[in-house]
Structure 1
Amino acid sequence: MRKDVAFKTEDGVTLRGWLYQPDKARSPVPTIVMAHGFSAVKENYLDKFAEVYAAAGLGALVFDNRNFGASDGEPRQHIDPWQQVSDYRDAITYASTLPEVDADRIGIWGSSYSGAHVLVVGALDRRVKCVVSQVPLISGHRNARRLIRADMIAAVQGMFLEDRKARYAGKPHGMIAVVSNDPNVPCALPTPDSYEWFTETAKLRAPAWRNEVTLQSVELFTEYEPGIYIEYVSPTPLLLVVAAGDHLTVADEALAAYGRALEPKKLALLGGGHFDAYVKDFPASSGAARDWFAQHLLDE
């Protein structure tokens, strides 16, 4: 069972999403708080994950990040990772007020950029009793240098500085494409599988997705270091879902971070690439998360 919900953040922005409940649920139930990654909206397959969790007896609160999709917020298409971390925590607060939700058994799930956020939230917020981080960003600085050619880094940093000067002068945020199939067009996620997944998913199921973000969103990405929090998630149980062929949020960074994490922890290694976690490898990725949540939220 799914219903539309809306809630306010601490600074007054309305976020919108869905609340899933197991069929014939006896409230309150353990509930998973979920949002999507870089520029994605909830229709980018988050419903499929929530349906798996609901079928296992878990609730799920799925919401669009501020400035994206059905949620409010300005400027549109702007991503501040620390603001998204704060919004996750406000979503937990909101979920805790609902009669359908067992406030003592809340888990969090994130993927890609939000997979990074849940590492931070899991380390900082002890209301969280279980964490699943799927194909996460670990280091914005190092990851950016895997995605941007070395001879282009100075030019990209110059774009950031020019955008900063323009905003200081009162001009609107500069914008950049999220993905492109033209290697000569600057974009935030410059891999062929990023272009294929976002554009195909927009056609099939996520018409609210827009192929642009603020240029400052990319600058903030390069400054975000969520991996330093992974060792502080313990003693909250952590499942890290890594795609062996991931060259967007690169697999070796995630595997190295898993080595730094403390118990209780578990690694689920998928065979495909970053976006296969949502489609081809979905049974494995969603099943591993479902079982981890069930073990730590249902079986206690």
Structure 2
Amino acid sequence: MNREDIEFTGEGGVTLRGWFYPAENAQTPAPVIVLVHGMSCVKEMHLDDYASVFAQAGLNALVYDHQNFGDSDGTPRQELDPVLQYRDIRNAITYASNRPEVDPARVGIWGTSFAGGHALMVAAIDKRVKAIVSQVPFISGPATLDRLIRPDFLPHVRENFNADRANRFNGGEPTMLAAVTPDPMGQAAMPQPDAYEWFTKTAADRAPNWKNELTARSLELAGEYNPGSFISQISPTPLLMIVADEDACTPYALALDAYERAREPKQLIVTHGGHFDFYDGKNFDEVSAAARDHFTKHLRP
């Protein structure tokens, strides 16, 4: 698959790096899909597979690493700031729209996991977006923390957030937290066993620059983020939401509730499986084809 190494400027003047996949067999400027990954992920973690599916269908595709992660610049390293991330999606749209291969009137966004929430928010506020796919989306930080962190652990977690704030205020280094852990009772941003299995295997196989750490502030910022509250504002941009009925990372019930608040035109696909079956597992062919068809339908000339 033909692709080009790219870089463009993100929020705060930070350089973001990624890949551009030109639409195959395109004789005139074609649509572009901006693809964005989830919590702590880097672009090598199967974004290239989705981009290839889209490019083969005559769609340009752009993938990149969030600032502070992977090949992109930014500090503190390994810090997830949802506001910077969704604003950088808009910067990526601007960059892509100025490429000669791209028809700027036909822009789609595809976000998965944490960036599935970003996609909802960006589609609601940036009407350059003409089609959106939100896959196993992060809907609500407060609701997700309540579901994924034991109530007796929450006071300790909040004490750690406060201690980290004080330490950073006084010039200390950010407190770091594991992204995943083999111990379901251990402290990690994603303590689920399937998260540990997928991240460590995928990093070993194809993403050596992934790091099993996040700043503690990343979890605090994620817990304040509520992108699902924007979902009713996406219309009339066509929405496709794809969820998994055994998702233990981004609770699918929250996604279904959010989908009910979305206005038409909208489509929901519920697949059988877990959160990570969408990347290299049994559901990839189904959901990548569904996303491709959604974009080709709604981004026609």
Q: SS of 2:236's equivalent?
A: coil
Instruction: State whether residues 244 and 270 of structure 2, in contact with CA within 8 Å, keep that contact through their aligned partners in structure 1.
Output: yes
Query: Where do 1:115-154 residues align within 5 Å?
Result: 115-154=116-155
Give the match for residue 196 of structure 2. Answer: 195
Opposite residue 287 of structure 2, the aligned amino acid is S
Q: CA offset at residue 24 of structure 1?
A: 3.0
Whole-angstrom CA distance in 2 between matches of 1:55 and 1:186 = 41
- Equivalent positions of 1:1-300 (< 5 A) are 1-279=2-280, 280-298=282-300, 300=301
For residues 263 and 24 of structure 2, the distance between their equivalents in structure 1, rounded to whole angstroms, comes to 35
Q: Compute the displacement of 1:136 (Å).
A: 0.3
SS in 2 for 1:150: coil
The letter of the residue matching 1:271 is: H
In 2, Cα distance between the equivalents of 1:105 and 1:183?
44
TM-score by structure 1 length? 0.98
Q: Distance in 2 between matches of 1:184 and 1:125?
A: 40
d(CA) in 1 for partners of 2:11, 2:192:
36
Structure 2 gap segments, 5+ residues each: none
**1:220-265 deviation line (CA, Å, top 9, x unaligned):** 1111111100110101010001111111100111011111100000
Q: TM-score, normalised by structure 2?
A: 0.98
1:158-217 per-position Cα deviation (integer Å, ceiling 9, x unaligned): 100000010111111110000000234310001001001100000111111000000000
Find the aligned partners of 1:107 and 1:166 in 2 and give their Cα distance.
Answer: 41
Shift of 1:147: 1.0
Question: Which residue identity does 1:113 align to in structure 2?
Answer: F
Partners of 2:171 and 2:134 lie apart in 1 by: 38
Given that 1:270 and 1:277 are in contact with CA atoms closer than 8 Å, whether structure 2 keeps it comes out as: no
Q: Please tell me whether the aligned partners of residues 24 and 59 of structure 2 are also in contact (alpha carbons under 8 angstroms).
A: no
Task: Report the alpha carbon displacement of residue 134 of structure 1 after superposing the two structures with TM.
Answer: 0.3
- Hey, what's the Cα distance between the residues in 2 that align with 1:230 and 1:81? 16
CA distance in structure 2 between the aligned counterparts of 1:239 and 1:157, rounded to whole angstroms: 35
Amino acid of the structure 2 residue aligned with 1:109: W
SS of the equivalent of 2:13 reads coil
Deviations 1:97-117 (A, max 9, x none): 100111000000000000000
Distance in 2 (CA, whole Å) between partners of 1:205 and 1:92 is 27
- Please list the CA deviations of residues 5-26 of structure 1 after superposition, one character each: whole Å capped at 9, or x if unmatched: 1111242111010100123322
User: By how many angstroms is 1:268 displaced?
Assistant: 1.2
Name structure 1 gaps, 5 residues minimum: none
How many residues were matched structurally? 299
8 Å CA contact 1:27–1:99 kept in 2: the answer is no
Percent identity of equivalent pairs: 54
